[in-house]
DNA sequence: ATCAAAAATATGTACAAACATAAAAATATA
DNA sequence: TATATTTTTATGTTTGTACATATTTTTGAT
């Protein structure tokens, strides 16, 4: 882990400072209400202006990772709303962690024109095709989840990648794209004909539906993922702590 | 509504600018992807520096009310109703935050013997009755969620409390119990006869089912809550950042 | 007419400088 | 000793300035 800032890098200084602060507050010495060095000093240490440093701090303050107090200083907030387990494990990794061997029932790559919704999320034009990945997965006995993923063209996927490997690992190793932030929307749905067919359930019966918006290091959109989970086969767990 | 900024006010200029922008984008002419005046001009109009204006804009950008685009300008984002802080708002508070009046369709208190599962969670014997609270709630038009809550006897609920008030507020004020940690399990389910009847849907149709284990200040179990949400009426959002 | 280069225009990044303000700590006063 | 008062120290506010950069628009060359 680097403790300093590279003034020659193309990465903006306030972004570098931001990631550096994120690393910093993960360290044991900064956990639990400890104070950061004051802004003036820290700016001097990092060799950036106070304004630039504040820009970085502000972001973490907004995310409620840091709390500012006049005269007292800036302290690390109580860790909050940590959505446990599930979130940063890919499906493959999670199943492996539970000792369940995965079976890919279907794996299909295609190139499609994004609809308005997707184009808007990716901030691209609807006239250019993007990669669509459909996967039907489960254990040895049955398929219990159907995934549909769309990827930002920036990543440069060819379609020849090995999608049997853990997806995010592959993206990181082969395309240098790291998933950093995900926003998910979970709801219950009735399975339509397509989904019912894939999961071998009756149309109209319940599925857990998850939309997932994935962002990379620079908080740029990188993947849009739809997951249809057979009911009963999947439970989403969230653990959150009050932060007042 | 004032359209200008008061330089003599004690309220910081960037705060004034922020509220002004919030008002602004509520106006019909600025709805739906319309562009704001560019920063340099707007700063001139408001007679504040571009830096100060940017401070205000930044905040709304963080909140995803505005979207910036190089060369294009700053436009009003599609309103998303993303309840980010969903987690620590009670149902009542959350609905109120969205300006939706709540209606209690049913509210029923009873005293029951806990089953093994609940007794185990509360770490109590099954021979002693505990309070059970059933609530069918929704907006003016329809009931869309059915809650069943069980409370730890330690809290000392009598059953005569006013359960129309926000629950956690009431528990804090009248029984000095503060909810501090919650563990939730979200899944999709087919509605059984009871639930279907309450929510006025067909048996077998999907509901979002949420188990919630709530702990107090000392991480002692205080409430066990089951929520059955009519599908489509409820979306659970989770935002998570990688921390490794 | 088509395609490439240049100009224009918006936000993005970064610094320096100054003064305001809240709260704790140190000091002075009763 | 207890209570005001002042000082100190951190963040908070605000401006001015300069150049970078992504995109569109305009212009120019083939």
Which residues of chain A are within 8 Å of residue B207 when distances are taken between CB atoms?
188, 206
In this prediction, residue A241 carries a pLDDT of 58
Chain A CB contacts of B209 under 8 Å are 188
Report the percent of chain B where pLDDT is more than 90: 49
Strand C neighbours among B 50-89, CB < 7 A: 51, 54, 68-74
Residue B36: what pLDDT? 92
Domain of B38, in residue numbers: 13-76
A45 touches strand D (CB under 7 A): no
The CATH number of whichever domain residue B53 belongs to comes to: 1.10.10.10
Strand D within 7 A of B51 CB: yes
User: pLDDT tens across B11-36, in order?
Assistant: 899 999 998 998 888 888 787 678 89
- Using one digit for the tens of pLDDT, what is the confidence trace for A154-179? 888 988 999 888 888 898 888 888 88
Contacts 24+ apart (CB under 8 A), B66-73: B66/B21, B66/B25, B66/B36, B72/B35, B73/B35, B73/B36, B73/B38
Please give the distance of CA A119 from its chain centroid, rounded to a whole number.
Answer: 19
A56 and A28: one domain?
Answer: yes
Q: What is the average pLDDT across A131-142?
A: 92
| A126 lies in the same domain as A220 | yes
Domain annotation covers residue A241:
no
Question: Do A22 and A113 sit in the same domain of this protein?
Answer: no
> For strand D, which nucleotides have at least one atom less than 7 Å from a protein CB?
8-17, 21-24
Please tell me the distance from the alpha carbon of residue A223 to that of residue A178, in angstroms, as a whole number: 11
CA A194 to chain centre: 27
* Same domain (yes/no): B124, B166: yes
Residue B241 has pLDDT above 70, yes or no: no
pLDDT of A112 > 80? The answer is: yes
pLDDT at B81 over 50: no
Q: What is the pLDDT of residue A83?
A: 38
Specify the pLDDT at position A86. Answer: 41
Q: How many structural domains compose chain B?
A: 2
**Is residue A45 in a domain?**
yes
The domain that contains B118 carries what CATH number? 3.40.1410.10
Most trustworthy range by pLDDT among A79-93, B4-18, B41-55: B41-55
Q: Is residue B71 part of a domain?
A: yes
C1' of C11 to CA of B73 (Å): 7
Residues A25 and A94 in one domain: no
Distance, CA of A81 to C1' of C13, in Å: 32
| B39 and B135 share one domain | no
Residue B62 counted as domain residue: yes
What pLDDT, on a 0 to 100 scale, did the predictor assign at position A90?
Answer: 63
What is residue A64's predicted lDDT score, i.e. its pLDDT?
Answer: 77
**What confidence score (pLDDT) does residue A85 get?**
36
The CA distance from B126 to the nearest CA of chain A, in Å, is 27
B110: tokens are 């009873």
Same domain, B59 and B89: no
Over residues A9-20, the mean pLDDT reads 91
Q: How far apart are CA A181 and CA B240, in angstroms?
A: 6
Same domain, A36 and A133: no
Better-scored residue on pLDDT, A81 or B193: B193
pLDDT tens string A210-235: 998 888 877 788 999 999 999 877 77
pLDDT for B45 beyond 90? yes
Q: Is B243 a domain residue?
A: no
Three-class DSSP labels, chain A:
CCCCCCCCCCCCHHHHHHHHHHHHCCCHHHCCCCECCCHHHHHHHHCCCHHHHHHHHHHHHHCCCEEEECCCEEEECCCCCCCCHHHHCCHHHHHHHCCCCCEEEEEEEEEECCCHHHHHHHCCCCCCCEEEEEEEEECCCCEEEEEEEEECHHHCCCCCCCCCCCHHHHHHHHHCCCCCEEEEEEEEEECCHHHHHHHCCCCCCEEEEEEEEEECCCCCEEEEEEEEEECCCCCEEEEEECCC
Interface pTM, i.e. ipTM: 0.69
CA of A210 vs C1' of D30, distance in Å? 54
Give the mean pLDDT of B153-175.
Answer: 89
The pLDDT of residue B65 is 84
């Amino acid at each position: 882990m680097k403790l300093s800032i590279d003034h020659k890098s193309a990465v903006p200084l306030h972004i570098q400072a931001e990631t550096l602060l994120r690393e910093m507050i993960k360290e044991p010495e900064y956990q639990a209400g400890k104070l950061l060095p004051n802004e003036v000093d820290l700016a001097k240490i990092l060799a950036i202006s106070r304004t630039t440093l504040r820009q970085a701090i502000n972001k973490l303050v907004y995310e409620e990772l840091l709390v500012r107090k006049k005269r007292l200083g800036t302290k690390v907030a109580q860790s909050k709303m940590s959505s446990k387990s599930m979130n940063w494990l890919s499906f493959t990794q999670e199943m492996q962690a539970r000792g369940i061997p995965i079976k890919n029932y279907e794996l299909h790559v295609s190139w499609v024109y994004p609809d308005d919704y997707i184009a808007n999320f990716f901030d691209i034009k609807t006239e250019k095709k993007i990669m669509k990945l459909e996967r039907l997965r489960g254990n040895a006995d049955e398929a219990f989840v159907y995934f549909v993923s769309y990827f930002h063209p920036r990543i440069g996927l060819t379609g020849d990648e090995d999608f049997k490997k853990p997806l995010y690992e592959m993206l990181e190793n082969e395309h240098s794209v790291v998933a950093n932030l995900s926003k998910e929307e979970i709801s219950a749905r009735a399975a339509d004909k397509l989904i019912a067919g894939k999961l071998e359930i009756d149309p109209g019966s319940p599925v857990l539906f998850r939309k997932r918006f994935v962002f990379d290091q620079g908080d740029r959109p990188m993947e849009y993922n739809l997951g249809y989970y057979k009911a009963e086969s999947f439970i989403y767990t969230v653990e959150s702590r009050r932060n007042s």
